[in-house]
Homo-oligomer: A and B are copies of this chain.
Amino acid sequence: MNTDNNELSIYALGGMNEIGKNMYAIEYANDILLIDCGNKFPDESLLGIDLIVPDVSYLVDNKEKIRALIVTHGHEDHIGGIPYLLKKLNVPIYATRFTLGLIELKLKEHKLLADTELTEITAASMLNFNKIEVSFFKVTHSIPDCLGIVFKTPEGTIVHTGDFKFDLTPATKEHADLHRIAEIGKEGVLLLLSESTNAERPGSTPSEQMVGKHVEEAFIRAERKVILSTFASNVSRLQQVVEAARKTDRKLALLGRSMVNVVEVAMERGYLEIPEGMLIDQNQINELPPEKVAILCTGSQGEPGAALSRLSTGNFRGVEILAEDTVIFAAGPIPGNERNVTKIVDNLYTIGAKVIYGSGSTSGMHVSGHGYQEDLKWMLTLLKPKYLIPVHGEYRMLHQHRLLAEAVGVEPGNTFIMNNGDVVDIKESVARQTRTIPAGNTYVDGVGVGDVGDIVLRDRKQLSEDGMLVSVLTLSKLDGKLISGPDTISRGFVYNRDAEELLKEVERLITKTVNELQAENKQQWNTIKQAIRKTIGQYLFSQTRRRPMIIPIIIEV
């Protein structure tokens, strides 16, 4: 696509002006390197949609150039789109040991594992793709084995931070490699892509060890069972829970599919150590005295099908939360999930359980994995980039990130706030944003990928608000006269039995409309349908202030 083959281009296919669905690309000459391929969850306006993944049609059109997908870490918003990408393009994937473990789980589920080329890398790996040399540096986040990526190109060095925070006292060995980051900065960075999730929050992210301290205190105070829910992938936190269980002499049971899966991957690959004999099966829980049991489970976001939600309503077979048990939400609610979480808290209090919940800053049971303003300034200061593209955030976060960059010395005008599909081109060390490539959302609904578009969603919205009314007319083939019907039924509009008169009047109006048109010899089906929609729409709005979808169906016999 580049008119000049020696130009360097950078763009996002997801992650700009949104949280989630991260996907970025570095293009030089005839080579495209991809960074991450995430998903995101729809907001409530996207009715019935299960998942959103990046629209990769630009990549499909340029598939001969694509050399690799390099993955910074294993969170869903960075790997959840991979199966959908692979169904359209076969791309070799590079990731660390733990990240690969999670990707493999995902590919197994989609039956894509056998056909995909997976390469394990470490922070010390070096890769070459023609003129682009790729190296890495370790960063700290809320999942093990995270990387930042360095792309050395003939035009200069591009750095992508991945998701990160600085934590000088992480709970496990997940230190960021500060010396390596400083060295990269010293060698010179032309352009930095840095994450912006917490760019609005002043100060520094608290250390993960704070959570460990609070978990331990809660375990000591608890006189009966402890049920702790957190993100399965936060292995450092799981390790701290294991520690607390060890110190209070409790056995540990795992509930919820993703908790069981991730713990298995983490133990197999050496990221999580659980003392011999500590893990018990869920059917052993009731055999032990309650003060000897801890449960680690999914559902910290109040997800309706997850373990904690089912436990809170007594719907988890064989395991019960009882009065005086302690339930810990070791994860703050992600915006949008508050109601689901508080509904569970209400249920747990009804049972008589003790509940520790709230945002991390009130409960002490959660810290963010994303750097606050001081963390972002540290990264900018160490790397000293000429240009910044803030990534991973809604507009106000990208905007605040720009202000932070300017405060630590990035020249005003050298920060690009971009949309997905906007391209920054670099030539002779000068960056410019002037053109765009196709980018957008692909909706996943059931097994359909991309088959639900705006029309289907608009219809779902209308149906959801005011329901619908179907009216079937049978017309004579001979003269177009009404020979049967109209037969009218409604769903989601009014309760039919309560609205008999309303529906009778609808049918009378339809008959009248059809007869009038027939008398005027206006018998095109479209004319008839339009007239019915208009007449009935007006009548129903005047009677109910609702606008159900009106569907006339004409049958000719």
Contact = CB atoms under 8 A, between A and B. Distances in A.
A452 B495 contact: yes
Contacts of A491: 459, 463, 468, 549, 551
Contact of A470 (B336, B459, B551, B557): B551
A447 interface: yes
Contact of A465 (B47, B447, B543): B47
Interface residues of A, number: 66
A556 B484 contact: yes
Nearest to A349: B399
A545 B48 CA distance: 11
A499 B448 CA distance: 11
A197 B304 CA distance: 25
Interface string A32-63: 00000000000110011000000000000000
B557 A483 contact: yes
Copies in the complex: 2
Contacts of A498: 451
A296 B349 CA distance: 42
A323 interface: no
A44 B394 CA distance: 23
A463 B470 contact: no
Contacts of A399: 349
A44 B44 contact: yes
A121 to B, nearest CB: 35
Given A17-B346, A342-B394, A395-B346, A459 B544 contact: no
A368 to B, nearest CB: 15
A394 B345 CA distance: 10
B553 A345 contact: no
A459 B465 CA distance: 11
A339 B338 contact: no
Contacts of A466: 48, 446
A550 to B, nearest CB: 11
Contacts of A553: 470, 472, 487, 489, 553
Contacts of A551: 470, 489, 491
A515 to B, nearest CB: 18
Interface of A: 17, 43-44, 47-48, 200, 335-336, 338-339, 342, 345-347, 349-350, 355, 358, 394-396, 399, 445-448, 451-453, 455-457, 459-461, 463-468, 470, 472, 474, 483-485, 487, 489, 491-495, 498-499, 543-546, 549, 551, 553, 555-557
